[in-house]
């Protein structure tokens, strides 16, 4: 009996269920490991019981049946599965594939069209973990960019081995191992990891300096992995693994299975009556087991998709605020904050203006464009500060978010729907210098999947009059054009601007040095209008004449240049009669002569009148710029001038507007990304990690013509990088000098968010010009922005916990139990995980905690449920009341009701905010610490409302955590936060 095909099939199943990575303890690997035994039993035993039942006899008695079923199962799943993903490969015949087509005029399709691209870029984060003897840090010092389109797996992690670097080393009791990420030939990371382990083990064992870390090499059993092996495998996999989530895996695989059976198994021409029944029986068995596997695999994929689409939590919220926006009463506390003052010294060089004087209240009053960072202050100070603002949204116009851009756009979707004036993005160009991870030669397809969903989410935030501009070069130009065409539609294409960004050219081996980039511009609707550039002084000097209608330029009415000859505009060939003395003019009565094709007149000029035709000094017949009807309609704009050559007809050329229309080619030196991008940024942040940021002028001009001229206009950049877009918005405020506020939303996932993106905006608020990291002037702006960290998809996975409600392994013996295993085990048993909003912990919403990854290390963090809820409901903040923390004493009145008094303490906490939803629905949100005694909690609530002097009837809706009696007392609609929040967090409408 041939069992090889059966074993090959089992091996493929183990691959699909990640058995070969069972040592990894993060993300999906950790989740699957929790159910490893149950999955193992299913694919090794239970699945074959299903096959036998489907066949109707003992499959082991028929080698032919075994070979048929297992070989086709293996062929089918091998065809579509590869390294964690399922990719459409529906074949018409060998080498020819189908693609789905709905009958439209055009079809944009790519290999990963139906998948979410989950990892947006190589992480390359340092990796740190704790041991009983001390901390261990894996640190990446060198990343070699791929060349010649090498595949991603050709780059691997290696130990750095140079005489200049001691590797490994111990610094401040921390074991540090230095890595490089470089190109290799015919080597895989697993093999390289074995070499790394051998070297590290040899050093740790034989060098007494590392004796404290011998425990890293300990193996609990002979077959187990050491801690060092596990952590090294996790580090190298986590930093390089790219993966997708299928948007509808079950529907996709079931359709592919049907196609596979019809086209590649059941061939009616080859079947006779005797073999038909047996073949159908085996096909049935193969189909049954395939569908069971599809259901199980789809359960895992749907589990991932739910976590991906889930609106993520806000982890932390802080603010950068200029002093002029802060009441003077806060100044005494600010000057006591040493971290704040040190930050001013470092970033704003205040020692140069202190003149050896201390930082006191008077100094703050005289330098009100200095900004504070609330991360340096405690929660009490921050809460009081924010509570001091009326109309918070107006006072804090900026928003910076440290998050994967898909997750950020997803959470912002309600609050900023139809509120953004312009989107400017500079996504990764996917060239050798900026490529994203890809595999299976699907480099462009992966990039398109990355971009497609983000473009779709971003557009939902645009106003109908909004405009999106996307920077790109030749490498992904046609792919980006297809995506934007698919999203915005051809009628909304506004044009492509070619920018001379690198005049000297970027060398290409065997190709033409590229000196330009493109700005693809799309309108959101027919209401969108491309703006104009302001005219410069040189252009304005042309309009040196002025009358009651405004400035104008004198221009000859006779056309010159192209299309100026008589035959080019024969209907604009007609005479003027001009009085030689008074210079008064008239056009005689004209009629059209069809025979000669010209205007004719029967009138003759008066004795003092001269006839003027559009004939130039070389006696060449031309035509007039205006028709005679136009001339008669705008008579006041036409006049006669005496010239050496005689009388000439002139008209007043007026600027159509205060600006000029942008052209499709921007070639001025100010657009150089070297001079006004790289060098400009290095003046602000001398050791910036960004090599090729955009010219600040290119971005400013783009914003100016795409919707950033008006007060409170909003720009969104969800590939914010170093923050060029944010600085450009601030520079436009300076340029206008009329108190026009530009609002910005910048989203950046990089670990440089704090050191580059945020810092650049804060510095740009303080000064217009910088040199070597110091301000050349102190022309500060009055501005403020909120900056936040969002939960990541990896955080969501890492906070998944299983309950103990599972059926014990080996007990899946009937249909209900199989159905539970295949379809529900992951979602049902993880439903109480913190990442899903475990509502029992909302009795104290201020202490809701999750494990959040920071610099490679998991830390327990309080989650900002208040900000998360505001985003989920789309609440525009009006006022945040000062947080109350207190203890209580209780008595009873004559009727036996509880009477509450508030006292100093911190047993209870209340946070109340008011805002608007959809611009006209006034809401009040009450967050509170709940008591187990609901009656007591209600009594405390009423007392707090009394203390705040809040009129609840002034609001259309009230949201409050926990049960309360508000609904029975007030006419206002009252909703429970827990159920509302959970519903909105998993509202997936429009995201697939």
Amino acid 121: pLDDT = 42
Residues 115 and 258 in one domain: yes
pLDDT tens digits for range 299-321 = 999 999 999 999 999 999 999 99
Mean pLDDT of 67-85: 84
Task: For residue 512, give the DSSP letter.
Answer: P
Domain co-membership, 409 together with 487: yes
Of 593, 626, 654, the position where a domain reaches its end is 654
Mean pLDDT of 734-743: 83
Last residue of a domain, one of 222, 240, 258: 240
Q: What is the pLDDT of residue 94?
A: 62
Do 523 and 571 have their domain in common? no
Q: How confident is the model at residue 62, as a pLDDT?
A: 66
| DSSP 8-state code for residue 305 | H
Average pLDDT over residues 781-785: 97
Domains of the chain: total = 5
Percent of the chain predicted with pLDDT > 70: 89
Secondary structure of residue 343 in the 3-state scheme: helix
114 lies in the same domain as 19: yes
Banded model confidence at residue 55, pLDDT cuts 50, 70, 90: low
Higher-pLDDT residue of 190, 583: 583
- Return the SS3 of 4: helix
pLDDT at 751: 84
Looking at residues 396-424, what average pLDDT do you find?
97
> H/E element holding 764?
helix 759-766
- Asked if residue 555 has pLDDT above 70, the reply is yes
Asked if 140 and 45 sit in the same domain, the reply is no
CB–CB of 230/237 below 8 Å? Answer: no
pLDDT attached to residue 143:
57
For residue 473, pLDDT beyond 70: yes
Q: What is the pLDDT of residue 915?
A: 96
pLDDT 10s digits, 541-553: 778 888 988 889 9
Q: Output the pLDDT for position 832.
A: 93
Q: Are residues 420 and 446 in the same domain?
A: yes
Least confident of 120-134, 446-460, 572-586, 943-957: 120-134
Q: What is the pLDDT of residue 536?
A: 66
Identify whether the C-beta of residue 790 lies closer than 8 Å to the C-beta of residue 312.
yes
DSSP letter, residue 375: G
List all residues 6 or more positions away from 181 whose beta carbon is below 8 Å from its beta carbon. Answer: 124, 140, 142, 143, 144, 155, 156, 157, 158, 239
Strands 371-373 and 314-322: antiparallel
The pLDDT assigned to 441 comes to: 63
pLDDT tens profile 816-858: 777 888 888 898 999 999 999 999 999 999 999 999 987 657 8
Q: How confident is the model at residue 535 (pLDDT cuts 50, 70, 90)?
A: low
Contacts of 803 (CB under 8 A, 6+ apart): 829, 830, 831, 832
Cβ pair 135, 175 in contact under 8 A? yes
Gap between the Cα atoms of 404 and 119, Å rounded:
9
Question: Is 465 among the domain residues?
Answer: yes
Query: SS3 breakdown of the chain: % helix, strand, coil, rounded to 5?
Result: 40, 25, 35
Same domain assignment for residues 197 and 283: no
Q: Which two tokens stand for residue 826?
A: 């992951």
Nearest to 483 by CA among 522, 428, 514: 522
Greater confidence (165 vs 913) lies with: 913
Lowest mean pLDDT among 469-483, 663-677, 850-864: 850-864
97-104: average pLDDT: 72
**Is 38 in the same domain as 143?**
no
DSSP string, 613-665: -SB-TT--BB-BSS-HHHHHHTGGGEEEEEETTEEEEEEEE--SSSEE---SE
Cβ–Cβ under 8 Å, residues 942 and 935? no
Is there a domain that residue 550 lies in?
yes
Q: What is the mean pLDDT of residues 776-783?
A: 94
Could you give the CA distance from residue 345 to residue 322 in angstroms, rounded to a whole number?
A: 16
- The stretch 251-258 carries a mean pLDDT of 91
Q: How does residue 82 score in pLDDT terms, banded at 50, 70 and 90?
A: confident
* Contact residues for 356 (Cβ-Cβ < 8 A; gap 6+): none
User: Average pLDDT in the 924-935 region?
Assistant: 94
Most confident of 19-33, 181-195, 511-525: 511-525
Domain boundary (748, 771, 792) is at 748
pLDDT at 629: 95
Looking at residue 910, its pLDDT comes to 97
Task: Judge if 235 and 250 occupy the same domain.
Answer: no
pLDDT value for 130: 85
Instruction: Report whether pLDDT(421) > 90.
Output: yes
Asked if 707 and 465 count as a contact pair (C-beta separation under 8 A), the reply is: yes
pLDDT at position 807 is: 55
CA dihedral 742→747→752→753, nearest 10 degrees, is 60
- Asked if residue 376 belongs to a domain, the reply is no
Range name among 60-64, 680-684, 893-897 with the lowest pLDDT average: 60-64
pLDDT band of 23, cuts 50, 70, 90:
low
| Beta pairing class for 591-593 and 598-600 | antiparallel
In which domain, by residue range, is 193 found?
127-240
What pLDDT, on the 0 to 100 scale, is given for residue 680?
97
Residue 269 in this model has a pLDDT that exceeds 60: no
pLDDT value of residue 99: 74
Cα–Cα distance, 952 to 958 (Å, whole number): 8
Is 336 part of any domain?
Answer: no
Of 1-10, 861-870, 943-952, the range with the lowest mean pLDDT is 1-10
Neighbouring residues of 221: CB distance < 8 A, sequence distance ≥ 6: none
Please tell me the predicted confidence (pLDDT) of residue 1. 41
pLDDT at 588 over 70: yes
pLDDT at 134: 86
**Residue 212 per-residue DSSP state:** G
Sequence length of the chain is 992
Sorted by sequence, the CB contacts under 8 Å of residue 12 that are 6+ apart come out as 74, 77, 78, 81
Q: Please tell me the least confidently modeled range out of 395-404, 529-538, 742-751, 898-907.
A: 529-538
Residue 120 has a pLDDT of 45
Strand segments (E) across 95-224: 96-97, 115-117, 127-131, 134-143, 155-159, 169-171, 174-183
Q: Which two tokens stand for residue 254?
A: 């079931």
Q: Specify the higher pLDDT residue, 480 or 95.
A: 480
Is the same domain home to 52 and 26? yes
Bridge partners, residue 169, by sequence: 176
Q: What is the mean pLDDT of residues 648-663?
A: 85
Residue 991 has pLDDT above 80, yes or no: no
Is residue 437's pLDDT more than 50? yes
Q: Residue 426 has what pLDDT?
A: 95
Q: Lowest-confidence range among 185-199, 376-390, 738-752?
A: 185-199
Q: What pLDDT was estimated at residue 31?
A: 87
Residue 58 has pLDDT above 50, yes or no: yes
The pLDDT score that the predictor gives to residue 237 is 72
DSSP β-ladder status, 921-928 and 898-917? antiparallel
Distance CA 381, CA 383 (A): 5
Distance CA 809, CA 35 (A): 9
**The pLDDT of residue 812:** 47
The more confidently predicted of residues 789 and 440 is 789
Average pLDDT, the chain: 88
What CATH number should be reported for the domain holding residue 673? Answer: 3.40.50.150
Q: Where does the pLDDT of residue 136 fall: very low under 50, low under 70, confident under 90, or very high at 90 and above?
A: very high
* Average pLDDT score over residue span 381-399: 95
User: What's the pLDDT score for residue 153?
Assistant: 43
In a domain, 795, yes or no: no
Give yes or no: residues 413 and 501 share one domain: yes
CA distances to 155, 648, 830 from 635, rounded to whole Å, are 74, 15, 81
Neighbours of 521 (CB within 10 A): 26
Question: What is the pLDDT at residue 539?
Answer: 67
- Better-scored residue on pLDDT, 281 or 472: 472
Q: Please state, in angstroms and rounded to a whole number, the distance separating the CA atoms of residues 109 and 453.
A: 14
CA distance 760 to 772: 13
Of residues 62 and 668, the one with the higher pLDDT is 668
pLDDT tens by residue, 344-371: 999 999 999 998 899 999 999 999 999 9
Alpha-carbon torsion, ordered 7, 10, 11, 14, to 10 deg: -160
Q: List, in sequence order, every residue forming a beta bridge with 784; answer none if it has no partner.
A: 321
Tell me the three state secondary structure of residue 123.
coil
**In this predicted structure, what is the pLDDT of residue 703?**
96
Q: Burial letters for 393-414: b for 16+ Cβ neighbours within 10 Å, e otherwise?
A: bebbbbbbbbbbbbbbbbbbbb
Are 47 and 94 within one domain?
yes
* Residue 149 pLDDT > 70: no
Average pLDDT estimate for 562-582: 95
Give the DSSP H or E segment for 939.
helix 934-948
Contact 520, 487 (CB under 8 A): no
Predicted confidence at residue 182, as pLDDT, reads 75
Residue 351 lies in a domain: no
What's the pLDDT tens digit per position in 322-341? 999 999 999 999 999 999 99
């Amino acid at each position: 009996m041939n069992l090889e095909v059966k074993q090959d099939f089992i091996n493929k199943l183990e691959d699909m269920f990640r058995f070969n990575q069972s040592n990894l303890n993060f993300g999906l690997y950790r989740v699957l490991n929790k159910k490893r035994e149950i999955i193992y039993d299913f694919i090794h035993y239970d699945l074959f019981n299903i096959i036998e039942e489907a066949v109707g006899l003992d499959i082991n008695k028929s080698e032919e049946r075994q070979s048929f079923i297992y070989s086709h199962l293996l062929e089918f799943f091998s065809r579509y599965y590869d390294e964690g993903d399922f990719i459409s490969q529906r074949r018409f015949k060998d080498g020819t594939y189908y693609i789905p087509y709905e009958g439209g005029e055009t079809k944009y399709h790519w290999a990963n069209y139906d998948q979410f691209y989950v990892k947006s870029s190589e992480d390359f984060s340092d990796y740190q973990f704790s041991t009983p003897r001390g901390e261990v840090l894996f640190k990446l010092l060198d990343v070699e960019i791929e060349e010649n389109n090498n595949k991603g797996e050709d780059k691997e992690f290696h130990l750095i081995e140079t005489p200049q670097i001691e590797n490994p080393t111990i610094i401040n009791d921390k074991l540090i191992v230095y890595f490089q990420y470089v190109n290799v030939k015919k080597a895989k990371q697993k093999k390289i990891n074995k070499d790394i382990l051998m070297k590290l083990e040899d050093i740790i064992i034989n060098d007494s300096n590392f004796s404290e870390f011998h425990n890293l090499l300990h193996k609990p059993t002979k077959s187990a992995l050491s801690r060092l092996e596990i952590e090294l495998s996790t580090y190298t996999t986590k930093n390089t693994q790219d993966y997708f989530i299928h948007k509808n895996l079950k529907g996709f695989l079931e359709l592919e299975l049907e196609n596979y059976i019809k086209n590649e198994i059941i061939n009616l021409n080859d079947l006779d009556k005797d073999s038909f029944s047996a073949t159908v029986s085996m096909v049935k068995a193969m189909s049954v087991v395939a569908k069971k596997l599809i259901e199980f695999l789809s359960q895992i994929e749907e589990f991932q998709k739910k976590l991906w689409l889930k609106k993520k939590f806000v982890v932390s919220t802080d603010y950068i605020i200029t002093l002029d926006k802060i009441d003077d009463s806060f100044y005494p506390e600010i000057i006591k904050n040493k971290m704040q003052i040190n930050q001013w010294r470092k970033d704003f060089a205040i020692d140069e203006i202190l003149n050896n004087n201390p930082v006191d209240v008077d100094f703050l009053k005289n330098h009100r464009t200095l900004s504070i960072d609330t991360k340096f202050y405690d929660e009490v100070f921050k809460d009081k500060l924010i509570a001091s603002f009326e109309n918070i949204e107006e006072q804090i116009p900026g928003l910076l978010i440290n998050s994967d851009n898909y997750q950020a756009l997803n959470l912002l979707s309600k609050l900023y729907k139809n509120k953004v004036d312009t989107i400017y993005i500079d996504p990764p160009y996917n060239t050798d210098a900026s490529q994203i991870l890809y595999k299976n030669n699907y480099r462009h397809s992966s990039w398109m999947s990355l971009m497609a969903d983000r473009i779709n989410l971003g557009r939902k935030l645009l106003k109908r009059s909004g405009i999106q501009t996307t920077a790109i070069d030749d490498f992904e130009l046609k792919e980006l054009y297809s995506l934007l065409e698919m999203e915005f539609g051809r009628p909304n294409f506004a044009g492509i601007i070619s920018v001379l960004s690198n005049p000297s050219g970027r060398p290409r081996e065997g190709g033409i040095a590229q000196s330009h980039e493109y700005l693809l511009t799309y309108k959101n609707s027919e209401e969108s209008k491309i703006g104009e550039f302001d005219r410069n002084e040189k252009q304005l000097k042309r309009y040196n004449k002025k009358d009651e209608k405004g400035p104008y330029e004198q221009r000859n009415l006779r056309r010159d240049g192209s299309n100026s000859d008589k035959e080019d505009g024969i209907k604009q060939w007609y005479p003027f009669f001009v009085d030689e003395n008074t210079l008064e003019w008239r056009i005689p009565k004209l009629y059209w002569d069809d025979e000669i094709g010209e205007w004719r007149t029967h009138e003759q000029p008066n004795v003092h009148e001269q006839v003027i035709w559009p004939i130039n000094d070389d006696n060449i017949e031309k035509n007039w710029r205006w028709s005679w009807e136009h001339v008669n309609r705008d008579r006041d704009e036409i006049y006669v001038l005496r010239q050496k050559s005689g009388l000439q007809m002139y008209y007043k050329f007026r600027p159509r507007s205060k600006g000029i229309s942008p052209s499709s080619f921007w070639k001025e030196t100010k657009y150089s990304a070297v001079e006004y991008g790289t060098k400009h940024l290095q003046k602000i942040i001398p050791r910036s990690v960004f090599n090729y940021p955009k010219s600040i002028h290119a971005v400013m001009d783009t914003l100016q013509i795409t919707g950033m001229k008006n007060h409170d206009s909003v720009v969104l950049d969800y590939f914010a990088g170093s923050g060029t877009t944010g600085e450009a918005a601030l520079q436009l405020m300076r340029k206008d000098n009329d108190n026009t506020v530009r609002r910005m939303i910048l989203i950046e996932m990089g670990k440089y968010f704090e050191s580059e993106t945020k810092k650049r905006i804060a510095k740009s608020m303080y000064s217009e010009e910088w040199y070597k990291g110091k301000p050349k002037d102190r022309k500060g702006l009055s501005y403020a922005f909120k900056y936040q960290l969002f939960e990541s998809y990896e955080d969501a996975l890492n906070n998944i916990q299983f309950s103990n409600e599972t059926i014990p392994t080996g007990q899946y013996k009937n249909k209900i139990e199989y159905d539970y295993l295949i379809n529900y085990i992951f979602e049902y048993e993880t439903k109480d995980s913190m990442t899903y909003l475990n509502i029992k912990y909302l009795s104290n919403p201020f202490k809701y905690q999750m494990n959040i990854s920071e610099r490679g290390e998991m830390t327990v963090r309080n989650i900002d449920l208040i900000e998360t809820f505001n985003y989920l409901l789309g609440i525009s903040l009006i006022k945040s009341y000062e947080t109350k923390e207190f203890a209580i004493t209780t008595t009873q009145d004559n009727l036996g009701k509880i009477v509450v008094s508030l006292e100093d303490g911190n047993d209870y906490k209340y946070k109340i905010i008011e805002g608007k939803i959809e611009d006209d629905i006034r809401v009040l949100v009450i967050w509170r610490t709940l008591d187990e005694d609901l009656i007591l909690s209600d009594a405390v609530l009423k007392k707090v409302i009394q203390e705040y002097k809040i009129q609840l009837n002034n609001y259309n809706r009230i949201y409050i955590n926990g049960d309360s009696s508000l609904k029975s007392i007030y006419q206002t609609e009252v909703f429970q936060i827990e159920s509302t929040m959970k519903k909105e967090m998993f509202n997936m409408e429009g995201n697939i």
